Structure 1
Amino acid sequence: MADFAPPDDGRRACNTESNRSGEVAEKRHHHSPKPNGTNRRQRKPDGKRRPHSSQKHFSGRGHAKHGRQAYAALDLGTNNCRLLIARPSGQDFTVIDAFSRVVRLGEGLALSGRLSDEAMDRALGALHVCAEKLRRRNVYLARSVATEACRRAANGERFIERVREETGIVLDIISAQEEARLAVLGCHVLLEQGNSPALIFDIGGGSTELILVGPGEGAVPRILDWQSVPWGVVSLTDTVMREAVQARDEVERLAVYAAMRRTVTESFAPFAERIAKSSREDDIRLLGTSGTVTTLASLHLELPHYDRRAVDGLIVPSSSMRNISTRLSRLSEAERGQVPCIGPDRAELVVAGCAILESILDLWPAHRLGVADRGIREGILRSLMAGDFASVQSAGKT
């Protein structure tokens, strides 16, 4: 049983803002309307490209005044490449630049055990954009991580080296445990208030992390137990849902969906048994961070297009998420592509996410689900800023 608490000095926010469909947490990351600065420092004096390390200070002048430096977090997942650049702002931070692109790095990995050339090329295209943003923003401290696809692929390490050679970005392949820790650190402020047990989950492209948390010594909850399973929206689609391409009608699509549910539920079984007692307590809390939960939350709100401000921090009835999942599982891929907030990009993968979500609701039957459009990147930024600030304070005392 895992037992550790992520370092963080952030504060838990109260869910006080409301609308007709649910409650929205006050605490958000504020996006600067006019990003500042274009100071480029692309190369070393010898003319070689400076590597963007997985955790590296880019200024040679030592620690500058905390709060004025730009920090960056890059998360290369199985499905998406995401970058966040921010400056500290009190107990939170202000986003000054961001980037996200669907790269499908893990496409075909579940069957071949390797990253395909096409997938690596897509990821490298996105990483070149990230490298340019890091240079243009003159980032002071950054961390870049890769998750399940690179952990699992036989050629994952070689791909990491290719990324360093071609973009200057040094990716750190993190463990599933570190991925869970960062997810909690990034989104825990959106947990509903209370002392009851809580489950935080992250449905990724190649894996799903489940984290049982309880009250911690400070604002950050204590991680009591966790599990990572190798089923995310890409890996589950590649191994099970491909059969749905040949499904001729709704009955066959539902049969494929049931097969996905069984696959995921079986993988959750050891964790479900360990947390069974906690799941039966009163007022259990649930918080999810992933494209699946944010997409389904958008459908719950009946939004014409995705709006992070409406979704991040929303509290949704679990029954609504189940109903939406069931409805989507009955549709063909073409029909799902016509649904607002899904579109062609998510049409193929969203059903696998629904199957994972329903399996989570089975093992943790909370009546309400908190929705977070934040996670690993925000956790990385909090870690970088807290650690750098502690170093500045320590240096000032010597």
Structure 2
Amino acid sequence: MASGLTARLAEARDFVRAALRPVPEVLAAVDLGSNSFHMVVARHSHGQLTIIDRLREMVRLAAGVAENGRIDKEVAARALACLERFGQRLRDMRADSVRVVGTNALRHAHRKQAFLERAREALGHPIEIIGGMEEARLVYSGVAHTMPSEPGKRLVVDIGGGSTELIIGEGLTPLDMESLQMGCVALSERFFRDGKISAKRMERARLAARLELEPVQAAFRRRGWDACAGSSGTVRAIGDSIRALDPQALSITPAGINRAIEYSIDAGHTRELKLEPITEDRRPVFPGGLAILAEVFSVLDIKDMRIAEGAMREGLLYDMLGRYQREDARELTVRAMQQRYHVDLE
């Protein structure tokens, strides 16, 4: 294990020794998530990044990856049509530097090379499929760069379509990271596929989430944190729904989650989830995401969670910026891992 870790650290160290290059004026990041595809474009000026364009389309790629790993033709067509639109926008924006990453659904898809080649042609840029830990690192970077700086450690929770990332960090540096094999699409497909929502189904979904969380419970609670933030669309939709049910709610709390669960069970079906924050394309995956967040709160004993503005795509932008400025966020992670595991690369 130590030799493998040393090799990964050495590879990351070699990367960050790249020569300094001028920062492009326009940078773009594309996140091919298991639930939604996102694109964010930023302008670099005077050392700062300013977001100038955002696009999001719910593709639900995870729902189109069969048990044998094949990507469903209809879902693939939907994904490629989305990437065509993203590619045209990137050309219109004249983005100088673009990074495109695929996450959990593409990690687990088999025989995907033909799809990736067509996706690259549609978008105009190559696609990098990243591992769960890299996804967690980028999520934390996006949150840490876009939330006010504060002392102490921060727990970040990101519920995606196919995986859930948990990160504890301090400042801009992640200290503990986990990527769990559960997401709002996968759990909703498993327990709420026909749209029906009941107390029994919700409890079964929560139990599945609890079993995924239990192996990391002790380590995370032992590390501890001073503040908690949730990122991405699932957490935001739940937080906004809680606020719609109780306008006095300023953050996500256990009581608010319970209220959202009661509302969902009373609705009885995903098509009856009529709160404004639960958009039509969000409804089929809302109960699965809600079950995951409820168990994250329960297992880790979270009392309060704020909603972060940034997520993985913002993390990609700051990662790109750091590479040009030789302040690669991965270097900070490498140093933290060196200290934690007592690895000497010299």
Are residue 257 (structure 1) and residue 202 (structure 2) matched? yes
- Describe the superposition over 1:301-352 as per-residue Cα deviations: whole angstroms up to 9, x where unpaired: 339xxxxxxx9xx74444323322332244221211x221113211111110
Cα distance, 1:385 vs structure 2: 1.5
User: Structure 2 length normalisation: TM-score?
Assistant: 0.81
Report if the CA contact (8 A) 1:107-1:115 is conserved. Answer: no
When Rg is computed on C-alpha atoms for both structures, the one with the higher figure is 1
Q: Partner amino acid for 2:147?
A: L
Are residue 377 (structure 1) and residue 319 (structure 2) matched? no
Question: Relative to structure 2, which stretch is displaced further, 84-93 or 178-187?
Answer: 84-93
- Describe the superposition over 1:53-83 as per-residue Cα deviations: whole angstroms up to 9, x where unpaired: xxxxxxxxx955x4x7100000011111111
Give distance in 2, aligned partners of 1:201 and 1:270.
16
- Mapping of residues 339-378 of structure 1, within 5 Å: 339-378=275-314
2:236 equivalent in structure 1: 294
- Describe the superposition over 1:174-226 as per-residue Cα deviations: whole angstroms up to 9, x where unpaired: 1101100000000124277332x43211100111111122x3xxx41x32222
Report if the CA contact (8 A) 1:114-1:154 is conserved. Answer: yes
Greater share of residues in helix: 2
Cα distance, 1:277 vs structure 2: 2.5
Q: 1:268 aligns with which of 208, 213, 217?
A: 213
2:342 equivalent in structure 1: none
Cα distance, 1:388 vs structure 2: 1.5
Q: Partner amino acid for 1:272?
A: Q
Q: Partner amino acid for 2:192?
A: M
Q: Partner amino acid for 1:233?
A: C
Give distance in 1, aligned partners of 2:311 and 2:288.
20
CA RMSD of aligned residues (A): 2.8
Are residue 194 (structure 1) and residue 151 (structure 2) matched? yes
Q: 2:272 aligns with which of 317, 335, 344?
A: 335
The structure-2 alpha-carbon separation of the partners of 1:108 and 1:201, relative to structure 1 and needing over 3 Å to count, comes to same
Are residue 149 (structure 1) and residue 105 (structure 2) matched? yes
User: Structure 1 length normalisation: TM-score?
Assistant: 0.71
- Describe the superposition over 1:91-120 as per-residue Cα deviations: whole angstroms up to 9, x where unpaired: 542112221111111214264432111111
Could you list the runs of 5+ residues in structure 2 that have no partner in the other structure? 10-19, 328-346
- Describe the superposition over 1:19-57 as per-residue Cα deviations: whole angstroms up to 9, x where unpaired: xxxxxxxxxxxxxxxxxxxxxxxxxxxxxxxxxxxxxxx
The structure-2 alpha-carbon separation of the partners of 1:90 and 1:362, relative to structure 1 and needing over 3 Å to count, comes to farther
Give distance in 2, aligned partners of 1:123 and 1:73.
17
- Describe the superposition over 1:156-187 as per-residue Cα deviations: whole angstroms up to 9, x where unpaired: 33321221234422110011011000000001
Identity across aligned pairs (percent)?
A: 28
Could you list the runs of 5+ residues in structure 1 that have no partner in the other structure? 6-61, 304-310, 392-398
Off by >6 Å, runs of 4+ in structure 1: none
Report if the CA contact (8 A) 1:184-1:379 is conserved. Answer: yes
